[in-house]
């Protein structure tokens, strides 16, 4: 077991410093929408604040930890603004990434039941690494442990600062239904992250793209009863980065005030034991809407089913969100404008249903 943990740790470190590091994976776009698509502020009404924390593979010394805070603000249904702060650690502070991003999105109303948004994200990032904490096999004696200096020549650089650019498009729609009928809502989005990284985020080698281009396709559809207190929401997220493709398929079951998530993560559409990654289980609580405000808290656990099952102990994720002015009325002196009344009336009371 100890040998397996050392092997996993070594592989993670090598991939991190050689430039093939990937963005952290999260369990659902419903709980972290701005992280996946900069067009989000254009289709989410009101103001929303989100906090997410994920610890991946806590059973190994090089556990991956990711934290982010985001806020989205739609102003008079005409423009959306988003702000994003992220910090993630890959392997006992060996490689740390901090980012600050801002995005703007412009919604276009196609009809009362369909809205499309295009967004652009500009960010500033910093990668840092502590070379002294990296251990190599030539430092170890089979009897006495770590007693030798390594022959690896450490680069002089221990910190890189860079700019980052991302693009996205998203659409939100609803089926026309009567007041006493069940409701159907949904969204679909496409995003390209790290379209341009300047000047570089590399520590080793100038021919390696340290932050690889990432393609994302995501969507969800909500089936809710006429009371908006019960329903299901199948959702998916497909990510492709640095020759690594991940498929995430989940279903959110809503039983107000609680909700439950059940899903799977895989590397292909073929669900075989060699490429199957993990099962995803989650639970959350959503408050009642009070003065046009709503709070949401959720927890999810990824049960690893791949060859890394021994010793990694899966992944844990916590999400918090607070939304206010969810119908946009405060922006019009406390009254909902005609433009707001005619907007797609997706309920924003399930910590993600509005997206």
pLDDT single digits (tens) 132-156: 777 777 888 888 888 888 887 777 7
Burial code (b: 16+ CB inside 10 Å, e: under 16) for 273-290 equals: eeebbbebbbebebeebe
- Higher-confidence residue of 63 and 340: namely 63
pTM score: 0.83
| Percentage, residues of the chain above pLDDT 90 | 41
Write down the pLDDT at residue 349.
45
The superfamily (CATH) of domain 2-341 is: monomeric porin ompg (2.40.160.40)
pLDDT single digits (tens) 162-188: 899 999 999 999 888 777 787 898 999
Are the CB atoms for 262 and 53 separated by under 8 Å?
Answer: no
Rounded Cα distance between 189 and 340, Å, is 22
Write down the pLDDT at residue 115.
92
Where do the domains of the chain lie? 2-341
pLDDT single digits (tens) 185-214: 899 999 999 998 777 666 665 555 567 899
């Amino acid at each position: 077991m100890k040998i397996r943990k050392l092997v996993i740790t070594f592989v993670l470190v090598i991939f991190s410093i050689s430039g093939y590091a990937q963005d952290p994976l999260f369990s659902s776009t419903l709980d972290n929408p701005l992280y996946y698509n900069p067009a989000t502020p254009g289709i989410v009404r009101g103001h929303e604040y989100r906090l997410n924390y994920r610890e991946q593979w806590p059973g190994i010394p090089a556990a991956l930890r990711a934290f982010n805070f985001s806020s989205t603000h739609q102003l008079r249904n005409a423009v959306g603004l988003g702000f994003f702060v992220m910090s993630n650690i890959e392997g006992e502070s060996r490689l740390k990434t901090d980012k600050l991003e801002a995005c703007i999105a412009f919604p276009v109303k196609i009809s009362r039941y369909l809205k499309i948004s295009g967004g652009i994200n500009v960010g500033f990032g910093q990668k840092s690494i502590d070379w002294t904490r990296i251990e190599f096999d030539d430092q170890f004696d089979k009897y006495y442990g770590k007693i030798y200096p390594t022959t690896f020549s450490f680069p002089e650089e221990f910190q890189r600062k860079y700019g980052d650019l991302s693009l996205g498009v998203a659409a939100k729609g609803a089926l026309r239904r009567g007041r006493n009928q069940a409701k159907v809502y949904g969204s679909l989005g496409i995003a390209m992250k790290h379209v341009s990284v300047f000047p570089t985020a590399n520590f080793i080698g100038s021919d390696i793209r340290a932050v690889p281009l990432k393609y994302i396709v995501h969507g969800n559809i909500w089936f809710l009863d006429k009371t908006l207190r019960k329903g299901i929401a199948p959702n998916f997220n497909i990510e492709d980065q640095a020759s690594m493709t991940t498929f995430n398929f989940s279903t959110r079951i809503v039983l107000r005030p609680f909700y439950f998530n059940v899903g799977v993560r895989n590397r292909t559409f073929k669900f075989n034991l060699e490429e199957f990654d993990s099962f995803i289980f989650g639970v959350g609580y959503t408050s009642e809407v009070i003065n046009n405000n709503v709070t949401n808290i959720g927890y999810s656990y990824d049960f690893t089913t791949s060859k890394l099952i021994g010793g990694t102990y899966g992944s844990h994720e916590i999400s918090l969100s607070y939304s206010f002015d969810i119908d946009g009325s405060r922006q019009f002196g406390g009254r909902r404008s005609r433009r707001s009344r005619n907007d797609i009336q997706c309920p924003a009371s399930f910590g993600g249903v509005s997206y």
